[in-house]
Amino acid sequence: MLMNETGEYEKNLNKLSKLIESKNQERPPNKGRSCEEEQREAEALFQRYGYNVFLSDQLPLNRELPDTRDNRCLQKKYPKDLPSIAVVLIYLDEALSNEDLGEKLAAYIEFIHKDRPGLIKRVRHKYQMGLTPSSHLRVGARHPPITVAVLDAHIEVNVGWAEPLLARIKADRTTVVTPVFDKVGFDDLQVEHYWASAHGFDWPLWCMYESFRPEWNELHDESQPGK
């Protein structure tokens, strides 16, 4: 590990330590566990998964998120006959326990299927396939055709996330679209608004943010789609 990477890593651990200490002061003491024990657990989870799992486990699954959309986005109207959408969530070696992704998930799917049979399908691969092959699931022949959204396990969606994407696909079924992703802090899990941009990857496969074409900037309207 390079010196600057080591320094950044220690900086993140120190920031994590201060954050956990402040959270411990805000909430009632956890009987049977000391702050030092929780600190060691939090640091171990951070070193393994690269984000604040300790804090994540204390947040509700349906937590409220800030609406970071441009005001002009809120004024847009979308057709009611948008394409149907299937969402594929991919996860591997996640911080959630085997119980959460096993028995609890199975019970939740069974509960959903009482009212919506077949709505959720869980697929377990026998070996690690990678992101792209894992997302190539057969959704069956549908009429009208179904749209597939592929998300990874660390994505939270907000109200109205799908309509703008589906409207573009409805206008042209050959279109492949992606939303603008805001940032979720790895340490405090706070949502930070990101500017509108395209997404790509460099050779080491780190996510990159690329500016839209100049003609998009000339519109001075972040509610417009860009390339």
Above 60 in pLDDT, residue 24?
Answer: no
Residue type, 57: D
Q: Are residues 116 and 25 in the same domain?
A: no
pTM of the model: 0.73
Cα separation, 122 vs 191, in Å, equals: 29
Q: Is residue 189 part of a domain?
A: no
Residues 164 and 103 in one domain: yes
Do 33 and 114 sit in the same domain of this protein?
A: no
* Cα(186)–Cα(47) distance, integer angstroms: 12
Q: What is the pLDDT of residues 33-76, one digit of tens each?
A: 667 888 888 888 888 888 888 888 888 878 889 999 999 999 99
CA–CA separation, 164 and 153 (whole Å): 22
User: CA-to-CA distance for 138 and 124, rounded, in angstroms?
Assistant: 14
State what percent of residues in the chain have pLDDT above 70: 78
The answer, yes or no, to whether the previous bond of 144 is cis (omega within 30 of 0) is yes
Could you give the CA distance from residue 200 to residue 49 in angstroms, rounded to a whole number? 23
80 & 173 share domain: yes
The answer to whether residue 32 is domain-embedded is yes
Q: Check whether residue 126 and residue 155 sit in a common domain.
A: yes
User: In the structure encoding, which two tokens stand for residue 123, read together?
Assistant: 């697929």
Collapsed DSSP state (helix, strand, coil) of residue 179 = coil
When divided into structural domains, the chain yields a total of: 2
- Per-residue pLDDT, averaged over 190-218, amounts to 85
| Average of per-residue pLDDT across 4-29 | 54
**How far, in whole angstroms, is CA 82 from its chain's centroid?**
23
Residue 120 placed within a domain: yes
Q: Which residue has the higher pLDDT, 166 or 200?
A: 166
Q: Which pair of tokens denotes residue 124?
A: 């377990």
107-166 pLDDT per residue, tens:
888 998 999 998 888 888 888 777 667 666 555 555 556 788 888 777 888 889 999 999
In DSSP terms, which residues pair with 152 in a beta bridge? 90
- 7 and 81, same domain (yes or no): no
Where is 127: in which H helix or E strand? none
Q: Are residues 78 and 50 both part of a single domain? A: no
The domain in which residue 11 lies consists of 3-56
